[in-house]
Amino acid sequence: MTALRVAVDATSLLGPRTGVGVFTAELLAHLPRTRVAPVAYATTWRGRGRLAGLVPRGVEVASRPQAARPLRELWRRFDHPVIEWWTGPVDVVHGPNYVVPPTRDAAQVMTIHDLTFHHHPEMSTADTLQYPGLIRRALRRGAWVHTESRFVADEVLEVYGADPDRVVVVPLGVTSPADGDPARGHQLAGGDRYLLALGTVEPRKDLPLLVDAFDLLAAEHPDLRLVVAGPDGWGADALAARLATSPHRERIVRLGWVDDHARAALLRGATVLAYPSRYEGFGLPPLEAMAADTPVVATAVGALPEVLGEGARLVPPADAEALAGALGELLTDDAARDAAVARGRDRAATYSWQACADGLADLYARAARG
């Protein structure tokens, strides 16, 4: 059987690797093991010469440069220019970050990670507030929707009235950070016992609440530290303001973006990963922590109960005392901690990147036939 040629937007590989970048990189790495021949492209002018060095070996790259802002403005209003002008003939085009461009003949698939811009516009940037119009336009063109959870799929059906037959759930995968060195994690944290928050600093992650919970625990655990690792997003100022008022500021470490080796080390060395999100469409960092044998405390919001199941301790959102209580139990009760580690390991083992790529390959085939 001839392999499907699928153009994948790999723009997210050009900056610091966030969740979308991880998803895109893993997808491109695993798709060649399916009946798909991926073609990577990037909607960028400044990064036009870098993409070939960032995709996995053997992945074709469409290197003709694109200008992101003019194209986004055109695609908001018109169904041209078509992406084949850059990629050549393809069977399917996949936008793994909400936006899928118009095509001449190819089927269109867009990944919708969550609907933060719909539920919490106050937590969104000007760029993400453009997504609803782009999504609606793509749906009118007949685009298929990939979501990572049933929760988000149901939201897409409710908010956008999408065709249920064209909204497909394919969970992400998770890779165990096998090369993570706990000693390196301790070195980065400045101590052996630390709570870890991992991800882009933005309002829906509610990291100021985590600082509140840490302050409730700090006096009882004088050797405990809090490490916040991830690039600044919109809302970093709120975290900085809260850190400035913490009486235990000297025990809070703000690392910013970290590379894959440091990320793995931090996950392996952490005492607990805290994930106090206000809304979530999947939740990759908690799964990564579970795969690293690190227990997780997360909020029971969005898709997190669906994705994490019994593998994490779930607490109500916006409740610093409940968050501190769950974290404190895992800090002091070895039996509870061991049980949480075992449940998390079992849960993480149900997710794989190859299964994700296989599921998307099936979606591409359906879209191409349709």
Distance CA 113, CA 116 (A): 9
Largest CA distance in the chain: 64
Q: Which of 324, 283, 321, 325 is nearest to 300 (CA)?
A: 283
End-to-end CA distance of the chain: 18
Helix and strand numbers (H, E) in the chain are: 15, 13
The confidence score (pLDDT) of residue 45 equals 79
For the chain, the 3-state helix, strand and coil shares in percent, each to the nearest 5, are 50, 15, 35
Q: Which two tokens stand for residue 248?
A: 């235990």
Q: What is the torsional sign of CA 152, 156, 158, 164?
A: negative
Look at residue 309 and give its three-state secondary structure.
helix
Which is it for strands 272-275 and 296-299: parallel, antiparallel or unpaired?
parallel
Distance CA 43, CA 85 (A): 13
Distance CA 284, CA 199 (A): 9
- What integer is the mean pLDDT of 97-105? 95
Distance CA 358, CA 19 (A): 19
Distance CA 197, CA 201 (A): 10
Q: Which two tokens stand for residue 2?
A: 């001839």
Look at residue 91 and give its three-state secondary structure.
coil
Mean pLDDT, rounded, of the chain: 94
Letter string b/e over residues 278-301, b meaning 16 or more CB atoms within 10 A of that residue's CB: bbbbbbbbbbbbbbbbbbbbbbeb
Kindly indicate the confidence band of residue 122, based on its pLDDT and cuts at 50, 70 and 90: confident
- Whether residue 250 contacts residue 266, with contact meaning beta carbons closer than 8 Å, is answered with no
Q: Is the pLDDT of residue 177 over 80?
A: no
The confidence score (pLDDT) of residue 92 equals 98
Residue 61 CB burial class (10 angstroms; 0-12, 13-18, ≥19): middle
Distance CA 368, CA 285 (A): 33
- What integer is the mean pLDDT of 316-338? 98
Q: Which of 148, 110, 123 is nearest to 304 (CA)?
A: 148
Please report, rounded to a whole number, the percentage of residues in the chain having pLDDT higher than 70: 99
Distance CA 226, CA 273 (A): 10
Cβ neighbour number for residue 256 with a 10 Å cutoff? 12
The confidence score (pLDDT) of residue 243 equals 96
What size, in residues, is the chain? 370
Distance CA 270, CA 224 (A): 11
Kindly indicate the confidence band of residue 123, based on its pLDDT and cuts at 50, 70 and 90: confident
| Bridge partner list, 5 | 37
The confidence score (pLDDT) of residue 289 equals 97
Kindly indicate the confidence band of residue 140, based on its pLDDT and cuts at 50, 70 and 90: very high
Strands in 296-299's sheet, in edge-to-edge order, are 252-256, 224-229, 193-198, 272-275, 296-299, 313-315
Q: Is the pLDDT of residue 321 over 90?
A: yes
- What integer is the mean pLDDT of 61-78? 85
Distance CA 10, CA 350 (A): 26
The confidence score (pLDDT) of residue 1 equals 61
Q: How far is CA 358 from CA 29, 347, 355, in A?
A: 12, 20, 5
> Which domains are assigned to the chain?
4-173+352-369 (3.40.50.2000), 182-348 (3.40.50.2000)
Kindly indicate the confidence band of residue 247, based on its pLDDT and cuts at 50, 70 and 90: very high
Note the pLDDT tens digit of each residue in 44-69.
Answer: 877 778 999 999 998 999 988 787 78
Distance CA 155, CA 180 (A): 36
| Bridge partner list, 198 | 229
Dihedral angle at the C-alpha atoms of 14, 18, 22, 25, nearest 10 degrees? -10
Distance CA 176, CA 293 (A): 9
